[in-house]
Structure 1
C-alpha cells in the first residue's frame, strides 16, 4: 500500500494486512518521515483481494483519555494506492484581517475569499475574520441577512494587503434566489462558486437550512465558471447527500435509490443487507463508553461484496478490553457513489469531505 505525502499516519501506528477471514498476513510500523509503505507476505498470497488496516495507538495507553483509531479498507485489490498528496496550490496572502464598519442588528453574516470563509450570527464573533487568506486574483464576497432582507457585494482586495476595512453600507446588491423542494425534511444547501472550474480556488456562498422540505438559497448575480452544490435531506432514519457540479445553480433535487437494512447494534452482532447501485460503503463504529475510546472506519468497494465487519485479532496493538466487540457500537453506515470511482485509488470520496466531484450518498443506522 503506497501513499505520497500521506499525513494521516501517526508515529505510533501500524499498517496491517489480513486475508478475508482476518488472518494477519503482514505488518509494518509507521515511521515518522516515511510516506511510502509496502506490505510483503512471508508466503505467496495468490488471492487478488485483501484487507488493509491503519491502526493508530496513543503514545501513552495508560492515559484514561487516550483514544485509538482504526481505518480499514476491506477486500481491496492488491496494488491499491492511498494518496492524499493533494492537488494544485495557490499563492497565499495570509493573514488578512477584516474590519467591519456600520455592522449592527444582523441575523447572519458571510464572508469569503477564494481561500477562506466563515459565517457569524453575532457581532461579538467578528474576531473569526482576523486570519483570512486569499489568492492574488481574489475579491472578498460579503453577504448579510438583516431584518429579513439579504444583501451582498464583492469588495476589492489589494495584493499583499493584510488588513481591509469593509463598509457594510456598501453591501447593497440584491441577490438572486432559488427555491428548492425536497422529498424529505431537515434540508440544507451549500454552494461553492469557482471562477475557474479547473482551479482549486472557490468562494463559499454560504449554507441555507430548513427543518421543512423547502428552502430558499440566495446567491450573487455575478456568474461563475462552475458551481459545486452540496445538498442534504432526511427521509425517515436516512440522510441523503449530494454533490452536483454545474455551470448553473439548479432548482432540481437529486434522489438516490440505494438503501440498506440493519440488524444488531454492535460489532458483535451487526449485519447489513444492501440494495441498489453503490461504489463503496463506509461503516463507522465507536466505543460505547470512555473505557473503550476507539473509532473504527471500515470501507469496502461494492465489487468485493464483502460485509464482514469482524475485527481481526489486534491484541498486539490494542487491549482486548478496548476491542471488546460488544462494547463497540455502530455510529453510522453509508452507501456512496461518485463519478470516476476507481476502487484501487484510495481514499474514497464522500460528500462530507469532498465537493469536487458529483456524489450521491445515503447514510443512517
Structure 2
C-alpha cells in the first residue's frame, strides 16, 4: 500500500475527530460507547459522512468484502484512533490500568472548522445512536440497500442475507445442542419451535442461487462464478445433511464445521469477486495503486483457494455433513424455482 497523501490523512483525521466530538456532545451516548462498535461499522460511518459532505473524492476507497472501504492502514482508521480522538476532544487521558478509567485533565479544546462541520453532520444528519447500537449484521444489510452502487446492490444484499442466515444457523445449532428432544429430526422440530430444518436449507439454497444469478449477469464477475460455486455446493450440501439429522446427534465437530463454513464463505469464497469489484469501483487519489495491488492479490488468492477448498471439502465429509443421494429434493419439487430463476435471468439480460 502506498502512503496516504497529506490531504487524505488530514481529511480522515478531521472526520474521525468530528465523530468523536459528536459522541462527546450527544446526550444519548456514554463515554465508553467509543469502544462499543466495530471497525467495519466505523468505516461505514466515515464513508457516509464523506459522501454526504461531498468529501469522498478526497480519499481512496472502493467497494470490497464488506462494502465501502477506505484504503487506509489499520492504525489510521480504527477504534483505537477514534478513542484517541475522543480523549483529545474531551480532555481525558486513559489511565494505565486494565479498566481504562479516565482522568479528566480539563484541557481546552477548540475544534477547527472542518472538524466542527463533521461533528454537526453526525449530530444533525446522521442517526448516531441508532446506527451505533444497531446489530452489525442488520446495519450492514440496511447500508447496502441504501448505499451500494445500483449495479451491485442486489448482490451485496444477497451476500449479507446469506451471512446473516449462517449466523442464525450457528446460534440455532448451539441452542438445539443445549436443549433438544430425543429422537427428533430438525425438520420435525420445526413444527413446535423456531428451529428450521429443510426450510433453512431452502433459504440457503435460494440465497446462493441469487448470488449465482447476480454474478452470472455481471461480465466481470462471471469468470469467478465457478470458483464461488465450488464452495457454495459444499455449503448447500452441509445444510441439506443437517436437515436430515437427529437433533441429539449434533456434535461439537459439526458445530465447528459450520463455523468454518461461515468464515470460508466470507473471507475466502466471497473475497474472490470482492477483489474484482474493488478494482472496478476504486476511486480517489491512489485508485490506480489500489487496482494494481488487488489485481496481484486476486491471482495469489486464486492459487491458494483450490487447496483450501479441498481441505474444507474433506473436513465436511469427516464431519458427516455430506448428504446421501436420497436426501436431495426431487427435480419436480425444484422445477418451479428453477423456472423462476431462468425467467429472472432472461428478463434482466434483455
Q: Give the TM-score of the pair, scaled to structure 2.
A: 0.20
Work out which structure has the larger RCO, using CA pairs closer than 8 Å and 6 or more positions apart in sequence.
Answer: 2
Higher helix share: 2
Q: Give the TM-score of the pair, scaled to structure 1.
A: 0.19
